[in-house]
Amino acid sequence: MKNILITGGTGFIGSHTCLSFLEEGFNITIIDSLKNSSKAVLKGIKEILELTNNYNEKKINFYEGDVRNRAFLKEVFLKAKKKNKPIDAVIHFAGLKAIQESTLKPILYWDVNVNGSINLFKIMEENNCTTILFSSSATVYGDSQEIPFKESALVKPFNTYGYTKAAVENILNNIFNADCSRWRIGNLRYFNPIGSHPSGLIGENPNSKSENIFPNICQVASGLRDKLHIFGNDWPTPDGTCYRDYIHIVDLAEIHKKTLKFLFNKKSINITLNIGKGNSCSVLELINTFERVNNIKINYEFTSRRVGDIAIYYADTTKIYNLLNWKPLKSIDDMCKDGWNWQKKLLSG
Ligand code: NAD
Ligand code: UD1
């Protein structure tokens, strides 16, 4: 079975993706600096797999380290070779993702997100490993105004985080154009992943300064925050709040497996795909759903609009549907139920 290197594999999306690959018998090699995650995630993955007698510790290798560290990366590839399980493909999640922080710390964001990626691509090439899925973001569309966004829409980011994601997409395009006979590249533009594995054994573990809506709702529900600030009720939308394309994290994880298998069947390819549900839900609808399915009240108040927000943002998912015959299965109800289930377990330790 193939060995997949998953950078940032103990993070929110990485952990669910690791699980999805392990469930199907892949070998995985995880690297993570643990800057925004913890090794406890590995225990959660193990417990989930044990529920179905599917755990095999030989199939997981974890290395703590930074993608910017060349010697470290070289060593990881070498160790995999020595074990007779060379890295067949990479899924590159490792990076920093907070939009506000990125505007305050641009050097850090360019260094981690772009230098870290260049470092990784160099080592991949040296090891003749030329299959990669890259975690890009819908944020690269910026305010290019073609909603829903098709993959062909103008790339027009307007924050540092978005610039770094667009830069890595460009680097990958350049790599492919220079040597299109052997690279297999999947560039995945995620919309808004939320929720967690239904077991409640792995999930998102944001820090207290989280900027994103779903962790903030959970923090209010669990008493870690007094109230949720809804950024604006005067948007040109049906209920005055912003609309987003939320997708369940388990659906998002699954699509990595499906896309990577698709790449493995090609000699060479460079493809960009939107990963979303293809429809949108307002902030108020999300809160109402969370309250209804979990029977819990969310204390909120309206405040002024957040700088950089856009009224409606969702994916045109025709391309991925036509190519991979894939549609996300889970509903907003599932996202709210599963996300809260994880948050409750987190609170109880
Ligand atoms: P996350 O912070 O939970 O996971 C990222 C992981 O990378 C963390 O475990 C962190 O410790 C690790 N990491 C950070 N810097 C590192 C470094 N220099 N070397 C090695 N490891 C490092 O974030 P996530 O939500 O799982 O996002 C994963 C990827 O998907 C990121 O690249 C992010 O930009 C992208 N993305 C996320 C979202 C989202 O809403 N969560 C949306 C679009 C794109
Ligand atoms: C943004 C990026 C996305 C990125 C994600 C993670 C865009 C269009 N999207 O998503 O690519 O991966 O951040 O950093 O740039 N909200 C509140 N109160 C809160 C938090 C959020 O009302 O406390 C509102 C926001 O105004 C927005 C919605 O909830 O309308 C979703 O916000 P958020 O979860 O931060 O995600 P995006 O900004 O859509």
% of the chain exceeding 70 in pLDDT? 99
Residue 187 CA to residue 113 CA, distance in Å, equals: 15
Residue 308: Cβ within 10 Å count = 14
Residue 51 CA to residue 334 CA, distance in Å, equals: 21
Residue 209 scores a pLDDT above 80: no
What is the per-residue pLDDT across 217-273, written as a single tens digit (0 to 9) for each?
Answer: 999 999 999 999 999 999 999 999 999 999 999 999 999 999 999 999 999 999 999
**Is 290 inside a domain boundary?**
no
pLDDT at 143: 83
Alpha-carbon dihedral angle through residues 30, 33, 38, 42, given to the nearest 10 degrees: 10
C-alpha 13 – ligand 1 centre gap (Å):
7
pLDDT at 180: 86
Q: At 13, phi and psi to the nearest 5?
A: -75, -40
**Is 300 inside a domain boundary?**
no
Average pLDDT of 75-79? 98
Residues tagged active-site:
161
Average pLDDT of 60-77? 98
Tell me which residue range forms the domain holding 265: 3-194+246-276
Counting the structural domains of the chain, the total is: 1
CA 185 from centre of chain: 17
> Among 168, 210, 213, which residue has the most ligand 2 atoms within 8 Å of its CB, making it the best to mutate?
213
Which residue's alpha carbon is nearest to atom 19 within ligand 2?
A: 213
Closest CA to 90 of 246, 244, 264: 264
Beta carbon of 112 within 6 Å of any ligand 1 atom: yes
Residue 207 scores a pLDDT above 70: no
Atom of ligand 2 nearest to the CA of 241: 30
**Is 222 inside a domain boundary?**
no
C-alpha 103 – ligand 1 centre gap (Å):
17
Whether residue 252 contacts residue 197, with contact meaning beta carbons closer than 8 Å, is answered with no
Work out the mean pLDDT of the chain and round it to a whole number. 96
pLDDT at 346: 84
Residue 204 scores a pLDDT above 70: yes
Beta carbon of 252 within 6 Å of any ligand 2 atom: no
What is the per-residue pLDDT across 115-174, written as a single tens digit (0 to 9) for each?
Answer: 999 999 999 999 999 999 999 999 999 987 789 999 999 999 999 999 999 999 999 999
What is the per-residue pLDDT across 6-31, written as a single tens digit (0 to 9) for each?
Answer: 999 999 999 999 999 999 999 999 99
Closest CA to 165 of 212, 116, 114, 105: 114
Residue 251 CA to residue 17 CA, distance in Å, equals: 10
Q: Which amino acid is at 244?
A: R
Question: What is the band of 2 on the pLDDT scale with cuts at 50, 70, 90?
Answer: very high
pLDDT at 240: 98
Question: What is the band of 208 on the pLDDT scale with cuts at 50, 70, 90?
Answer: low
Which residue's alpha carbon is nearest to atom 29 within ligand 2?
A: 213
Residue 315 scores a pLDDT above 80: yes
Specify the CATH number for the domain of residue 98.
Answer: 3.40.50.720
Give the predicted TM-score (pTM) of the model.
Answer: 0.97
Q: Which ligand is nearest to the CA of 298?
A: 2
